[in-house]
Amino acid sequence: MSTAIISHQQCEFHDNGQSHHPESGERLSAITNHLISSGVDWVLRSYDAPLVTREQLLLVHDEEYIDRVLATAPAHGENAVLDGDTGMNQHSLEAAYASAGAAVMAIDLTMQKKHNHVFCTVRPPGHHAGKNRAAGFCIFNNIAVGAAYALEKFALQRIAIVDFDVHHGDGTEEIFSSDPRVLLCSSFQHPFYPFSGADTKADNILNIPLPAGTGSSEWRSAVEQKWLPALDNFKPELIMISAGFDSHLEDDMGGFNLVEADYQWITHELCSLAKTHAQGRVVSCLEGGYDLSSLGRSVTAHIKELAEFC
């Protein structure tokens, strides 16, 4: 099976309303350009993301919060603020709907055996968005919407979410904490924004807080010791990835020192686990990654490994 990639035009036009905001539409352009220049785009099947439905959002978000986002969404030529670093322009609501809708479509594509591996090239990102709040550039929690949809529509009993963004996936943790059907594995710099996760005590949450300066060997060792055995024991029916690439050594939004080879390595390990336990099913959604050059290279390495493992 070929690997699929899902995006939406409005995702590029979403703007947080602040000059030189790091979470910009240039991120998607950098990814697209590097996929083309590397030739990887030739092996991908591209899809336009549908817009998420209200019912799908209600699987993880409070109704009051969804209504607040709708009420905040600005008209033409205006900007609005959801939280201190998460803004909206006239394109943001549709972009947020498409970003969550991409995760839903990815679930359908994998569960219906059309593709084993799907990458959602979308923004705004999602893993900081909680049940009732926007945070950290995130409006709706895309990966959580996709996972909750898979649990409901396809009656899955074991979904693993792996988050290797440099920031703790606090919104995803809030949504799925103590849900035994979801094993959440999150590695992140600590102490660092959002200053959570190091003291989490929940049987289904496996956090790896690591200090600034963490490099390839330390990060891989922690993953090998803590994540891989737990994932193998959990036997997930689906693996989902919150794919944040701001752990790269060239990305000054964090203090980790990972490189493209690390993203290729973890992708290979997760695809191997998916082949053993999940009929090969892997859904990956873009989270962070703000240095444009390293983002393009890292996402390409990630997608290339997804494609080669099909």
* pLDDT tens-place string over residues 194-243: 999 999 999 999 999 999 999 999 999 999 999 999 999 999 999 999 99
On the question of pLDDT at 47 being above 70, the answer is yes
Structure tokens at 287: 């989270």
Domains of the chain, residue spans: 3-308
Best CATH choice for the domain 3-308 from the list 3.40.800.20, 2.102.10.10, 3.40.50.300, 3.40.50.10330: 3.40.800.20
| Res 309: pLDDT | 81
CA 18 to chain centre: 23
Residue 307 is classified by DSSP as H
Q: Span 52-78, mean pLDDT?
A: 95
Average pLDDT value over all residues in the chain: 97
Check if the beta carbon of residue 200 is closer than 8 Å to that of residue 266.
Answer: no
Structure tokens at 133: 């709040």
Are 124 and 138 a contacting pair, CB within 8 Å? yes
The pLDDT, as a whole number, for residue 1 is 66
Query: What is the model's pLDDT at position 190?
Result: 98
- Exactly one of 14, 115, 127, 128 is catalytic; name it: 128
CA distances in angstroms from 73 to 16, 26, 124, 129, 279, listed in the order given: 11, 22, 14, 16, 40
> Do the strands 80-83 and 86-88 form a parallel or antiparallel pair, or are they unpaired?
antiparallel
Q: Is the pLDDT of residue 18 over 90?
A: no
Q: Is 168 a catalytic residue?
A: no
142 or 309, which is more confident? 142
Terminal-to-terminal C-alpha distance of the chain: 6
108 — pLDDT class (breaks 50, 70, 90): very high
Question: Which pLDDT band holds residue 78 (cuts at 50, 70, 90)?
Answer: confident
Q: What is the pLDDT of residues 269-280, one digit of tens each?
A: 999 999 999 999
pLDDT for 43 equals 92
Residue 113: HSE in the Cβ half-sphere, 13 Å Cα cutoff: 1
Percent of the chain having pLDDT more than 90?
Answer: 95
Give the percent of the chain with pLDDT over 70: 99
Q: What are phi and psi of 177, to 5 degrees?
A: -55, 130
Q: At what angle do helices 260-277 and 292-308 cross, to 10 degrees?
A: 30
pTM above 0.85, yes or no: yes
Instruction: For residue 35, report the phi and psi dihedrals to the nearest 5 degrees.
Output: -60, -40
Q: Average pLDDT for residues 141-150, to the nearest whole number?
A: 99
pLDDT tier for residue 75 given thresholds of 50, 70 and 90: confident
Instruction: Tell the burial category of 272 from Cβ atoms under 10 Å away from its Cβ (0-12, 13-18, 19+).
Output: middle
- Exposed/middle/buried for residue 107 (C-beta within 10 Å: 0-12, 13-18, 19+): buried
Question: Residue 115 and residue 109: Cα distance in Å, rounded?
Answer: 6
Task: Decide if pLDDT at 310 tops 70.
Answer: no
| Residues 59, 36: Cα–Cα separation, whole Å | 36
